[in-house]
Structure 1
Amino acid sequence: MIRRGYLDFGNGQLHYRYCGKESAPLLLMLHQTPSSSAMYLRLMPMLSENFFVVAVDTPGFGGSDPLAGDVTIEAFAAAIYQAVSAAFDQPALVFGHHTGAAIAVQLAYDQPEFVRALALSGPTLLTEAQKRALPSAARAFPIDDSGSHWQNMWQRLRGKDPEADLSLSVRETLLAFTCGDYYEASYRAVVEQDVVLQMAAINCPALVCAGGRDLLNSAVAPSVELLPQGRSAALPAEAGTYVCDRHPEAVADVLRQFFLEVAQTG
Structure 2
Amino acid sequence: MVRLRRGYADGPCGQIHYWDGGKGKPLVLVHQAIMSANEYDHVFQPFLDRGIRPIALDLPGFGLSDPPVSPPSIADYAAAIPPLLDALGIRRAAIGGHHTGALVSNEAANLYPDLISACILGGPLLISDTVRQALITDIVEREKAFTALPEAAHMVEVAKIRERYAAGSVSLDRITDYVVQAMQAYAMGTYWYGHAAAFAYRQESPLMALRQPTLILTNTGDMIYQAALDAHRMRPDFAFHAIDGGGIDILDQSPVEWANAAADFLHGVDY
Fold agreement, TM-score > 0.5:
yes
Is the counterpart of residue 177 in structure 1 residue 183 in structure 2?
yes
The one-letter code matched in structure 2 to 1:200 is M
Q: Which amino acid aligns with 2:40?
A: Y
**1:6 deviation in Å?**
1.0
- Residue of structure 2 in register with 1:202 after alignment: 210
Task: Write the distance in 2 (CA, Å) between the matches of 1:202 and 1:130.
Answer: 24
Do 2:85 and 2:91's aligned partners in 1 also have CA atoms closer than 8 Å? no
Other-structure match for 1:44: 44
Shift of 1:61: 0.5
Partner deviation per Cα, 1:207-261 (whole Å, 9 max, x = no partner) = 11211110011011221233474221121x2211111112111111101110000
CA 88–223 in structure 1, closer or farther in 2 if over 3 Å, else same: farther
Superposition map of 1:165-244 within 5 A? 165-180=171-186, 181-227=189-235, 229-235=237-243, 237-244=244-251
What is residue 142 of structure 1 aligned with on the other side?
A: 147
The structural deviation recorded for 1:11 is 5.1
Deviation, structure 1 residue 129: 3.7
Contact kept? 1:58, 1:76, Cα under 8 Å: yes
Letter in 1 for 2:29: M
**Whole-angstrom distance in 1 between the partners of 2:154 and 2:71:** 26
Q: CA 1:228/1:254 → structure 2, altered by over 3 Å: closer, same or farther?
A: same
Conserved 8 A contact 1:203-1:228: no
Give identity over the alignment, percent.
Answer: 26
Check 1:144–1:40 CA distance in 2 against 1; reply closer, same or farther (3 A cut).
Answer: closer
Residue 126 of structure 1 corresponds to 127
Q: Which structure 1 segments of 5+ residues have no match?
A: none
- Whichever residue aligns with residue 16 of structure 2, its letter is L
CA distance in 1, matches of 2:65, 2:198: 19
> In 2, Cα distance between the equivalents of 1:11 and 1:144?
30
Over residues 129-148 of structure 1, what are the superposed CA-to-partner deviations in whole Å (9 max), with x where a residue is unaligned?
43123233252333233432
Residue 160 of structure 2, aligned match among 155, 159, 170: 155
5+ residue gaps, structure 2: none
Counterpart Cα distance in 1 of 2:171 and 2:40: 15
31 and 146 in structure 1: CA distance in 2 versus 1, 3 angstrom threshold = same
Q: What's the offset of the Cα at 1:67?
A: 1.6
> Relative to structure 1, is the Cα distance of residues 106 and 196 closer, same or farther in structure 2, using a 3 angstrom cutoff?
same
Q: Is the 8 A contact 1:20 1:48 kept in 2?
A: no
Alpha-carbon offset, residue 86 of structure 1:
4.0
Verify the 8 A CA contact 1:201 1:228 in the aligned structure 2: no
Q: Which deviates further from its counterpart, 102-111 or 221-230? A: 221-230
- 1:213 and 1:238 in contact (8 A); partners too: yes
The RMSD of aligned alpha carbons is 1.8
Of 144-153 and 11-20, the range deviating more from structure 2: 144-153
Report if aligned partners of 2:62, 2:190 keep a CA contact under 8 Å in 1: yes
Aligned to 1:32: 32
2:261 to 251, 254, 260: 254
Normalised by the size of structure 1, how large is the TM-score?
0.91
Residue of structure 2 equivalent to 1:19: 21
Provide TM-score, normalisation by structure 2: 0.89
Deviations, residues 81-112 of structure 1 (Å, cap 9, x unaligned): 22223433321111110010010011011111
After TM superposition, give the deviation of residue 166 of structure 1 in Å: 0.6
Would you say the 8 A contact 1:203–1:229 is kept in 2? Answer: no
Moved more, 135-144 or 50-59: 135-144
> Offset at 1:57?
0.8
Q: Which segment drifts farther, 125-134 or 69-78?
A: 125-134
Aligned counterparts of 1:6 and 1:61: Cα–Cα separation in 2: 14
Question: Equivalent residue for 1:102?
Answer: 103
**Aligned twin of 1:72:** 73
Moved more, 102-111 or 153-162: 153-162
Instruction: Pick the aligned partner of 1:4 from 3, 6, 20.
Output: 6
